[in-house]
Amino acid sequence: MSNLYSASFDDLESIRHIAEAHGFCLVKQVFSAGQMEQLESGIAEDYAAFNGTCPELMSCPSLSWVMVAPRVLDIARILLPGRICYYGESYLNYEDSIGPRTKSPFNTPHIDARGSRESLTPFWSSPTDSIFRGYRFAVYLQDYKNWSGGLMVGIGSHRGNLKQFGIGAPAKVEYKILKFGDVAFTVGWPETPLYNVPSEPGDLVIWNLRTLHSAGARRLIARPEMAMLPKFEEEIYEKLPKAFLPVPGPRNAVFFDYGNEVEEVDLYIKHRRFKHRPEELVVAKDWCYDNDEIRTIFKTNNITPRFDSIITYLCSHFDKLRKNGASNADLFSMRARLFALLIEHKEFSPYFPLLSKELFLEKAAKSQEDALNYAVTTVLKK
């Protein structure tokens, strides 16, 4: 089963071609009906278990299987030849009924890939127009082929000059009159073709981290295939909400990233780590994808884990506990865990290092305590 933007899960070459040509691909029938039932119950279970602040997915007992399902990893490897890397960038959306997450999704068109050799802030771009070596994977529980609420993407926006997609400068827009009975709206269509991804339960949606996208796309009843910029959807919806197909239920889904061990992914990992200040990393208290069981899964599947955010959280928490007079016994396990992660820590570029690994190892050879003091001080200054 394939068309211009979709392919069957077992047609790996088509998946690669579509994703590289257009910046995204709708992969059909990746998960069975039974697996989707398992995913749906797992989302509810882990959301309740973590009191609504779910950690990254590998730390969720009922959800981690999704990321390392054989079909998912086959797709990740065809998109990302070479060793793949997981860096804790995963999350879930969950509501037991339609609420704020469904009614107000993040519908501002944006790209995720950021970082350059000079700064972690700018959107990533390539002087050779190469493809960013990182992708986001999404599994939606609802039918967004026949209803509103799915993903909107800019076709081909993963390559070329960002300005033509409205990133860094206004996009070129052609205005048209859209009529609904006797009501008319002036609607702008950007130079970039837009597309509402028609995903169904069981599908896997993948898009490049440099692809322009937004959530919660609305579909017109009269023209369900028509994709518009969210601001024009909003203008029409405010006056004529019945012109659009409704959402089919709560916007429940899981999202996760994989990338290669390359410079641009390293910069993105560091951007994500620096985006969240240490005091905001409380969510990382439940991250445990560095434990022995999950490490075995990574090793078996040849996945490189990066622990930048866990290291940052541990440095912050360790420092607070020491300053509050915690005993050595209370700090023992945290100290051991942090030290092990710092020994293992490996970056894929020399830019914006978390700390000097060479200096850390030099200090560790003489005193573990001095090495930890150096690491904590350095990481928290970043």
How far apart (Å, rounded) are the C-alpha atoms in residues 154 and 164? 11
pLDDT for res 283: 60
- The CA-CA-CA angle for residues 72, 15, 61, to 5°, reads 15
Q: Provide the H-helix boundaries in 23-144.
A: 33-49, 64-67, 70-79, 100-103
The predicted model scores a pTM of: 0.95
Q: Position of tokens 């797992």?
A: 42
How far apart (Å, rounded) are the C-alpha atoms in residues 9 and 155? 21
What is the amino acid identity at position 192? T
Residue 340's CB is within 10 A of a number of other CB atoms, namely 12
How far apart (Å, rounded) are the C-alpha atoms in residues 338 and 377? 13
Closest CA to 352 of 114, 92, 174, 158: 114
How far apart (Å, rounded) are the C-alpha atoms in residues 380 and 315? 7
pLDDT for res 282: 55
Q: Residue 24 contacts by C-beta under 8 Å, 6 or more apart in sequence?
A: 5, 18, 153, 158, 197, 205, 206, 207, 208, 211, 213
How far apart (Å, rounded) are the C-alpha atoms in residues 99 and 249? 10
Q: State the distance between the two ends of the chain, measured CA to CA, in whole angstroms.
A: 49
- DSSP annotation of 123 reads B
Residue 32's CB is within 10 A of a number of other CB atoms, namely 10
Q: Dihedral, CA atoms, 65, 66, 67, 70, nearest 10 degrees?
A: 80
Which residue segments constitute the domains of the chain, with CATH numbers given?
6-257 (2.60.120.620), 276-381 (no CATH)
Pairing label, strands 6-8, 183-190: unpaired
Q: How many helical (H) and strand (E) elements, i.e. helices and strands, does the chain have?
A: 12, 13
pLDDT for res 171: 76
How far apart (Å, rounded) are the C-alpha atoms in residues 381 and 199? 44
Asked whether 143 and 249 are in contact (CB, 8 A), the reply is no
Reduce the DSSP state of residue 50 to 3 states and report it. Answer: coil
User: What would the two tokens of residue 190 be?
Assistant: 């950007």
- Tens digits of pLDDT across the chain (382 residues): 448 999 999 999 999 999 999 999 999 999 999 999 999 999 999 999 998 888 899 999 999 999 999 999 999 999 999 999 999 999 999 999 999 999 999 999 999 999 999 999 999 999 899 999 999 999 999 999 999 999 999 999 999 888 777 777 777 888 999 999 889 999 988 888 999 999 999 999 999 999 999 999 999 999 999 999 999 999 999 999 999 999 999 999 999 999 999 999 999 999 998 765 544 555 678 899 999 999 999 999 999 999 999 999 999 889 988 888 888 888 899 999 999 999 999 999 999 999 999 999 999 999 999 999 999 999 998 7
CA dist 63 to 200, 232, 317, 381, Å? 19, 36, 27, 34
pLDDT for res 275: 61
pLDDT for res 381: 87
Asked whether 167 and 212 are in contact (CB, 8 A), the reply is yes
